[in-house]
Structure 1
Amino acid sequence: MVAPMSVWPWGNLGAFKYLLFGPFLAQVLYSRMGEDTAKSSWCLHLLIIWGLRLFIHLLLGSFGNMLFLNQTRRIIKQGVDFKQIDREWDWDNFLILQAFVAFMAYYIFPSLADLPLWNTRGLITVLVLHIGASEPLYYWVHRCFHGKYLFTNYHSLHHESAVPQPVTAGHATFLEHLILTAIAGIPILGSNWLGHGSLSLVCGYLVVFDVLRCLGHCNVEFIPYRIFERLPFLRYLIYTPTYHSLHHTDLDTNFCLFMPLFDAVGNTLNSKSWQLQKELNSGCGNYRRDIPDFVFLAHVVDLSSSMHAPFVFRSLASLPYATRLFLLPFLPIPFVVMLAMWAWAKTFVISFYNLRGRLHQTWAVPRFGFQYFLPFAAAGINKQIEEAILDADKLGVKVISLAALNKNEALNGGGTMFVNKHPDLKVCVVHGNTLTAAVILDDVPKDVTEVFLTGATSKLGRAIALYLCRRRVRVLMLTLSTERFEKIKKEAPADCQNYLVQVTKYQAARTCKTWIVGKWITPREQSWAPPGTHFHQFVVPPILSFRRDCTYGDLAAMRLPHDVQGLGSCEYTMDRGVVHACHAGGVVHLLEGWTHHEVGAIDVDRIDLVWNAALKHGFKSVSAPRTTSSSKSNFIS
């Protein structure tokens, strides 16, 4: 049985909880047409303040996840995992609660609707009431919630979040936020009761309150420690992110709301608070930059998918990518960012996770998918990839794996260009296509006798064709280049060469129900497949699921081992905990301790070796027809 007032009254409404704001909007519209302009004005102000506070949490949440800006200043190095994201999904419940409390306050204090825009005395009154009432009251209540009963039934929910984030500030039980609402309301109602209230005071106090709480939970130490060295008394007047993070690791210290003064008076001040902040600022000790063992060098696919990143919307990034209509109006923003990145940006860190004590990071080349097919952009893209490889080599990274278009054969020969240009590289450059080929081949049924292969002369197409012909599978290789086909055919054993057949039209596959797609095909081209065909694919972006009488496989992927930690974002359209096979191939390269580069043509003889190594390390095959992924229905964070 749950404790009284530990769950939210609208906890089961999902996304429909936002309909609770319907009466506010209806009141604004109705009153504008009627006579009650005071009530309309108050409801309008509440809606504006709610939107502003929501934006503050999302904006500072984005800042906390911008690893390319704050990686060296992160306090808790651990990543935010899917469990924490799901627990905090309804973090904004308290904003709805406080909006309704403010609406009810209008009926208790009708004078709130007649507040002036500004009152200087109100600022002084709010400061006095906050320091004299809200701060000590919060400190005392917070310590009470760390008692056995209250902590177990209420406050432990907040502390289940291992890595503080701005939205973590709002993740608490109904009872806790009722009390916090009362504490935050003391300065506002007190100043109004004394006749010093104003609209700017109400809005300003709530905004500053939210900003300070979000900054305390952002897990990024951005306040220079020299300020406290020059003005020591300030360390008792304003807390820092480091100060508050210690409360999450040492539960019996640092209980204050915003002012450490009350912890000093109550003898609960953590002695490490300012020394730890100094270490983080100076980058010394154990808080230097973490060097990853493995880097996956990704790229952006299109404008819509560019918003599928933890520093944009953390909650959406935790779900497989899908086009969401409500994000379409925001496309001009990534378009402008794209132009800026095209002109100035360098490779940046977007996510990381830990696997067996080794840090794995995802870096991104600031280029969008279509740019890879512009002839004049090739030199610039290769330059950025090369710089990323050299940076990884300089840092001491052991393996860097190239994502799909970053290893395009026409662009850099599958990474060969960089290895040839820099023969002394210590970092292993890996395209991961050997494991990609293994995943695709494992997905092909063992009893198949004939397959139709597009992209047949690409790196993957060549390897798949050569492997299948050794299994005595007839491969219809779609290619117009007889020269390239003959070259591949000669690589096959003499007694297997007759299993490789060149075709030049899609009509040749009218009776073949196993298609392996390595080149994007249109719905018209798919129409030549017979009913019941299964489309295996290794093309980015994935082909359209046009045929209802056929099935479509996902891109080659593998599920990460169960002991992965700190993973909180999905890789493009992949499910949680699933990565592209080329990504997994790079990880296997690291775990096996291989020191050779994996670039250029795929060594067909190593396909089984790499596959068995992946299974040995706990990777699992992901082979199922593509289905519509389930998604959370509540608001984004």
Structure 2
Amino acid sequence: MVPPLSTWPWHNLGTFKYLLYGPLVAQVLYSRMNGVTMLRDNWCFHVLILCALKGLIHQLWGTYYNMLFLTRNRRILQQGVDFKQIDKEWDWDNFIILQALIASMAGYSFPILTNLPLSDWRGFLCTILLHMAVSEPLYYLVHRYLHKDHLFTHYHSLHHSSAVPQSFTAGNATLLEHLILAMIMGIPLIGSTMFGFASISLIYGYVLMFDFLRCLGHCNVEVVPHQIYEAFPLLKYLLYTPTYHSLHHTETGTNFCLFMPLYDVLGNTQNSQSWDLHQKISSNAGKNGRVPDFVFLAHVVDLSSAMHVPFVFRSYGSMPFTFRFFLLPLWPLTFASMLAMWAWSKTFLISFYYIRGRLHQTWAVPRFGFQYFLPFATEGINRHIEDAILRADRLGVKVISLAALNKNEALNGGGTLFVSKHPDLKVRVVHGNTLTAAVILNEISPNVQEVFLTGATSKLGRAIALYLCRRKVRVLMLTLSTERFQKIQEEAPVDCQKYLVQVTKYQAAQNCKTWIIGKWTTPREQGWAPPGTHFHQFVVPPIFPFRRDCTYVDLAAMSLPDDVEGLGNCEYTMERGVVHACHAGGVVHSLEGWTHHEVGAIDVDRIDLVWEAALKHGLKAKTGHDQKSNPKIS
């Protein structure tokens, strides 16, 4: 049986829980229709605004924490937030709904709240005194009591189940806890109102500052300089730090205070490491942290996918990318950020995870997909990629892997440009295409006798063609360049060259049911495929699934090992825990400790070797690739 007040009444409503704001919205509209023009006289309006601002405060703190390029050297706990924690904290905003309902009922119970002055300095003084003398010690006592066995197990353990505190963790608690917290927060406001000192600015200021300080304590980023506490020692008793509260989550028998460590001192529950650890983390803020073993150098595709990162919406980034209409209002801000990134022109860290204790990071080049196809942008893009490689080399990174467009053949020869220019690089540059080829080849049924290949003279196309012809599979290579075709054909063993066939039109494949797409294919061109065709692909962006009578395979990808830690965001359209094969290729390169660069043409002889190494380290071929074409197409 579920303990009373341990779950939320709207637990099963999902996103429909936001309809609980409906009566407040209706009241605001009703008041407007009845001539209430002064917004300060509309209590429900202020409640809705406060709810929005409370949510924004938590979101902005979450955004700041996940801006790893700013906070990575200030983080208290180094492990990442994984999908399990994100799912557990998915309904972190339940407490905002609760407080909205309580506040709306208070408005009906205390008519004075509907006609408050804008400001009254006496109210601020009264609220501060009541908070320090009543709310703080009351919370301290209740919090200690919540750590007793029975109450902790049934009510408080949920809050402590999050491995890494974040601003959203502050809201992740049971109904009972938030009822208590609402009461504690309400005491100073009710007291000021009863004394006749309440005002609109007081309510806004206290409620928002309360949430701000809660988020400060849970943010896991030390933002308070230790020099302030050295200059003003008394402050150690009046205001906690993120480090101070983080110790409560790691050593749960200490640091119980709300915001004021004074009561931990009086109750003899202050962690002895609190201020030494704060000074250590604050002092090390400007120093480089742990050097990653592996870096994946990604790039932005477009404005929409640019928002699919943890520091925009953590929950959105934890799901495979799809366009959402709620992102539209953010486009102007995203565009402005894009311009700022171009001006700053620095790579930035967007995520990280661990495999067997090794740190793997994803950096991003501040360039959007369309720029890679502008001839005049080539030099600038290569310069930024080169800067990232040199930075990784200086830091001591072992392997850096290039994402799809960052290793474009026309751009830098699949990374060859950088290796040739800097022959003394210690960091290994990897394009990961060997594993990409291996994934695609292992998707093809061993019984296939003939395939149709577009993009046949590209790096991947060449490797796939040469590998298949060795298996005695007939490869119809779509290319208009006889010279390039013959050059590839000459690389094949003499007895296998006959399996490579040049074709110049899609009509040549009208009887072939296995297509490997390496070049964008229009719906009209797909129409030449016979019913039942399997479309494999390595083209970016992937082709549109037009044919309902055919199956389409996603871009080559692999699932990371089961022991991956700290992974909490999806890589573009990939599922959770799945990365593009070129990313996985870099991971394997790092785990194997290979010391060669993997750039330029693919070594066909290494395809099976890389595939077996990937499987040995626990990477798995992504299952469930096959999908019907777009069901919206009739």
TM-score bracket, normalised by the shorter chain, equals over 0.9
CA distance in 2, matches of 1:548, 1:323: 22
* Whole-angstrom CA distance in 2 between matches of 1:229 and 1:576: 45
Deviation string for 1:98-134 (max 9, x for gaps)? 0000001012111110111111110001100100111
Deviation string, structure 1 residues 5-60 (Cα, Å, up to 9, x no partner): 10000000000000111111111112221267799711111111111111111111
Counterpart-to-counterpart distance in 1, 2:415 and 2:27? 62
Q: Does 1:607 align with 2:607?
A: yes
> Structure 1 stretch 507-516 or stretch 310-319: which is displaced more?
507-516
The residue type paired with residue 263 of structure 1 is D
- Aligned ranges 1:141-156 → 2 under 5 Å: 141-156=142-157
2:308 touches 2:316 (CA, 8 Å); kept in 1? yes
CA contact under 8 A between 2:506 and 2:525: conserved in structure 1? Answer: yes
User: Contact 1:554 / 1:624 at 8 angstroms: preserved in 2?
Assistant: no
Q: For residues 192 and 623 of structure 1, what CA distance do their matches in structure 2 show?
A: 61
Letter in 2 for 1:251: T
Match of 2:124 in 1: 123
Determine if contact 1:554/1:623 at 8 Å carries over to the other structure.
Answer: no
Corresponding residue SS for 2:548 = coil
Name the counterpart of 1:309: 309
1:85 has 2:86 as partner: yes
Alignment TM-score, normalising by the size of structure 2? 0.97
Q: 1:288 to 1:235 in 2, by over 3 A?
A: farther
Partner of 2:399: 399
> Secondary structure in 2 aligned to 1:535?
strand
Is the CA contact 1:570–1:578 (under 8 Å) kept in the aligned structure 2?
A: yes
Q: Give the match for residue 329 of structure 1.
A: 329
Give the letter aligned to residue 597 of structure 2.
Answer: H
Measured after TM superposition, the shift of residue 329 of structure 1 is 2.7
Aligned to 1:491: 491
| Partner AA of 1:133 in structure 2 | V
1:508 positional shift: 1.5
Unaligned runs of 5+ in 2: 630-634
Report deviation, 1:625. Answer: 3.5
| Helix, strand or coil at the partner of 1:283 | helix
CA drift of 1:624 comes to 2.6
Output one character per residue of 1:285-328: Cα deviation in whole Å (capped at 9) or x when no partner: 9x950110000011111110000000111001110011112212
Aligned partner letter, 1:442:
N
- Residue 172 of structure 1: aligned partner: 173
Over residues 478-508 of structure 1, what are the superposed CA-to-partner deviations in whole Å (9 max), with x where a residue is unaligned?
A: 1111111110010011111111111111122
Q: Say if 1:295 and 1:400, in contact at 8 Å, map to a contact too.
A: yes
**SS at 1:56 equivalent:** helix
Q: Residue 52 of structure 2 aligns with which residue?
A: 51
Q: Counterpart amino acid of 1:68?
A: F
When structure 1 is superposed on structure 2, of 85-94 and 234-243 the one drifting more is 234-243
Unaligned 5+ residue runs, structure 1? 630-637
Taking a change above 3 Å as real, the CA distance of residues 530 and 173 of structure 1, as seen in their structure-2 partners, is same
Distance (Å, rounded) in 1 between the aligned partners of 2:315 and 2:377: 33
Structure 2: which amino acid aligns with 1:106?
G
Range moving further from structure 2, 407-416 or 319-328: 319-328
Q: Is the 8 A contact 2:7 2:174 kept in 1?
A: yes
Counterpart amino acid of residue 360 in structure 1: H
- 1:182 and 1:225 mapped to 2: Cα distance? 33
Residue 441 of structure 1 corresponds to: 441
- 1:7 corresponds to which residue? 7
Distance 1:561 1:387, change over 3 A: same
Q: Map 1:288-299 to 2 at 5 A.
A: 289-299=289-299
Cα separation, partners in 2 of 1:284 and 1:374, compared to 1, 3 Å: closer
**Secondary structure of 1:555's aligned partner:** coil
Shift of the alpha carbon at 1:343?
Answer: 2.4
How big is the shift at 1:628?
Answer: 9.7
- The answer on whether the counterparts of 1:293 and 1:359 sit within 8 Å (CA) in structure 2 is yes
1:464 equivalent to 2:452? Answer: no
Question: Does the aligned pair in 2 maintain the 1:443–1:623 contact within 8 Å?
Answer: no
Bigger shift: residues 462-471 or 617-626: 617-626
Rounded to whole Å, the distance in 1 between the matches of 2:521 and 2:209 is 54
SS at match of 2:42: helix
Partners of 1:127 and 1:418 in 2: how far apart? 61
Contact 1:237–1:258, Cα closer than 8 Å, also in 2: yes
Q: Residues of 1 paired with 2:27 and 2:231: CA distance? A: 52
The answer on 1:555 being equivalent to 2:555 is yes
CA contact (8 A) 1:7 1:173 kept: yes
Please name the residue that 2:566 is paired with. Answer: 566
Task: Give the letter aligned to residue 438 of structure 2.
Answer: A
Aligned counterparts of 1:35 and 1:462: Cα–Cα separation in 2? 74
Alignment partners' CA distance in 2, 1:150 and 1:47 = 32
| Partner residue, 1:632 | none
Q: Is the 8 A contact 1:513 1:530 kept in 2?
A: yes
User: What residue is the counterpart of 1:633 in the other structure?
Assistant: none
CA positional deviation for 1:401: 0.6
In structure 2, the residue matched to 1:103 is 104
